[in-house]
């Protein structure tokens, strides 16, 4: 008999897609059980991230009807990353390997077989990587790919075109549990765990139903979170910029002294006012970036819980 697999799916207001998602995941997992690839103790763990709709009601119903479904109900909405972490942390005590994926069926669930294959080959982390984004809208593709580029430029190393569709072994999850940061950006933290890793390519589809729960505002916040939680490069940029501007001002000083000595002092109101604005802007920008990091330190020192669990539904060897 194979190892125990838990498929963790964070769900926020997903009542439109959950019936279909659960049907397909169940078929997939049962297929794997039949083939003996995974143990009969394997489960689909649906995490309700404080949905405003009937998502939790559905999860309870699935669980009652079939023990293959487990559920976790968070006390409130904490965002995708925290919901996912909650699911992973619960699954790690029960499973040998855990696969995380979104509820909207955008990640091709047939890539699961290849991931499990790599796990049995001895990999501890297997990243699902999108082979193309043809089905995403132009805007989504543009912003998302720009996001990965910006992240890497800013020193936050991530796997290109990998979202949170990945397999992790139990010991990789135990490694993850030791990262205590409150500012969560799993895509950046997971590569820091180490062990043998692999990637599996898959085609990213369209959302099965409903709307993206990541509007532009959340996406920008997520990018900012990713960069500032993983790297201090932006602060270095500011130091570099400050130095550069200092050099420019010295050059200006020399220039004006020379102009004065040659008796050609022209009143340059425009240039003065421009530099005042430029310097003022740069100072504010720099303060903003530094403030961002101080804010992070503030949150980390508080060490608030990253999620709180209201209830867990998980049945094994039910009578
Ligand atoms: N999600 C969540 N909490 C949130 C927002 C989203 O758990 O506050 C879940 C959502 O249910 C889905 C996954 O995160 O399973 C990814 O969200 P979505 O598909 O809307 O993002 P996109 O694919 O558009 O980036
Ligand atoms: Mg999606």
272-293: per-residue pLDDT in tens? 777 777 788 788 888 888 888 8
Q: How many percent of the chain have pLDDT more than 70? A: 96
Residue 3, both tokens: 């190892």
Q: What is the mean pLDDT of residues 254-272?
A: 75
Mutate to test the pocket of ligand 1, among 16, 54, 104 (most ligand atoms within 8 A of CB): 104
Give the number of the atom of ligand 1 that is nearest the alpha carbon of residue 47.
7
More confident site: 81 or 237:
81
What's the chain's average pLDDT?
A: 86
Q: What is the mean pLDDT of residues 237-253?
A: 82
- Can you say whether the dihedral through the CA atoms of 206, 214, 231, 282 is positive or negative? positive
Give the number of the atom of ligand 1 that is nearest the alpha carbon of residue 13.
11
> What distance in angstroms lies between residue 212's CA and the mean position of ligand 1's atoms?
7
> What distance in angstroms lies between residue 128's CA and the mean position of ligand 2's atoms?
14
Q: What is the pLDDT of residue 234?
A: 81
More confident site: 13 or 224:
13
**Are the C-beta atoms of 92 and 98 separated by less than 8 Å?**
yes
Q: Whose C-alpha lies nearest to ligand 1, atom 8?
A: 79
The pTM for the full model equals 0.78
> What distance in angstroms lies between residue 207's CA and the mean position of ligand 2's atoms?
6
More confident site: 180 or 12:
12
At residue 319 the predicted structure's pLDDT band, cuts being 50, 70 and 90, is very low
> What distance in angstroms lies between residue 102's CA and the mean position of ligand 2's atoms?
6
Q: Which of 54-68, 152-166, 248-262 has the highest mean pLDDT?
A: 54-68
Q: Which ligand is nearest to the CA of 9?
A: 1
pLDDT score of 144 more than 80: no
> What distance in angstroms lies between residue 136's CA and the mean position of ligand 1's atoms?
15
Mutate to test the pocket of ligand 1, among 9, 12, 48, 53 (most ligand atoms within 8 A of CB): 12
Q: What is the pLDDT of residue 205?
A: 74
Q: Give residues (CB < 6 A) around ligand 1.
A: 10-12, 14, 49, 77, 79-80, 83, 102-104, 106, 212-214
Q: What is the pLDDT of residue 269?
A: 66
> What distance in angstroms lies between residue 204's CA and the mean position of ligand 2's atoms?
9
Q: What is the pLDDT of residue 272?
A: 78
Q: Whose C-alpha lies nearest to ligand 1, atom 23?
A: 212
> What distance in angstroms lies between residue 204's CA and the mean position of ligand 1's atoms?
15
Q: Whose C-alpha lies nearest to ligand 1, atom 2?
A: 80
Q: What is the mean pLDDT of residues 295-307?
A: 81
Q: How many percent of the chain have pLDDT more than 90? A: 39
Q: What is the mean pLDDT of residues 117-124?
A: 94
> What distance in angstroms lies between residue 154's CA and the mean position of ligand 1's atoms?
25
Give the number of the atom of ligand 1 that is nearest the alpha carbon of residue 77.
8
pLDDT score of 135 more than 70: no
> How many CB atoms within 10 Å of residue 129?
18
pLDDT score of 113 more than 80: yes
pLDDT score of 115 more than 50: yes
């Amino acid at each position: 008999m194979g190892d125990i697999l838990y498929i963790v799916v964070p769900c926020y207001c997903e009542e439109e897609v959950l019936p279909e998602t659960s049907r397909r995941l169940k078929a997939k997992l049962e297929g794997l059980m039949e083939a003996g690839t995974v143990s009969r103790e394997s489960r689909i763990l649906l995490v309700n991230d404080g949905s405003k709709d009937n998502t939790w009601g559905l999860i309870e119903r699935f669980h009652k009807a079939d023990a293959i479904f487990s559920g976790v109900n968070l006390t409130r909405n904490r965002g995708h990353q925290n919901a996912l972490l909650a699911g992973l942390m619960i699954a790690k005590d029960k499973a040998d390997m855990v696969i995380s994926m979104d509820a909207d069926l955008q990640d091709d669930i047939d890539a699961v077989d290849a991931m499990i294959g790599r796990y049995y080959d001895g990999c501890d982390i297997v990243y699902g990587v999108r082979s193309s984004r043809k089905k995403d809208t132009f805007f989504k593709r543009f912003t998302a790919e720009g996001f990965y580029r910006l992240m890497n430029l800013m020193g936050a190393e991530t796997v290109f075109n990998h979202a949170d569709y990945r397999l992790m072994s139990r010991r990789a999850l135990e490694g993850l549990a030791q990262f205590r940061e409150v500012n969560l950006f799993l895509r950046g933290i997971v590569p820091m765990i180490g062990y043998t890793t692999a990637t599996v390519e898959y085609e990213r589809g369209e959302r099965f139903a409903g709307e993206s729960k990541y509007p532009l505002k959340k996406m920008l916040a997520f990018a900012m979170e990713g960069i500032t939680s993983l790297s201090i490069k932006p602060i270095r940029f500011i130091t570099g910029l400050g130095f550069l501007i200092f050099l420019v001002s010295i050059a200006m000083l020399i220039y004006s002294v020379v102009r004065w000595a040659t008796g050609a002092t022209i009143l340059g109101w425009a240039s003065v006012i421009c530099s005042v604005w430029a310097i003022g802007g740069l100072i504010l920008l720099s303060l903003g970036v530094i403030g961002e990091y101080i804010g992070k330190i503030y949150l980390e020192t508080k060490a608030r819980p990253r999620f709180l669990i209201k209830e867990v539904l998980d049945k094994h060897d039910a009578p």
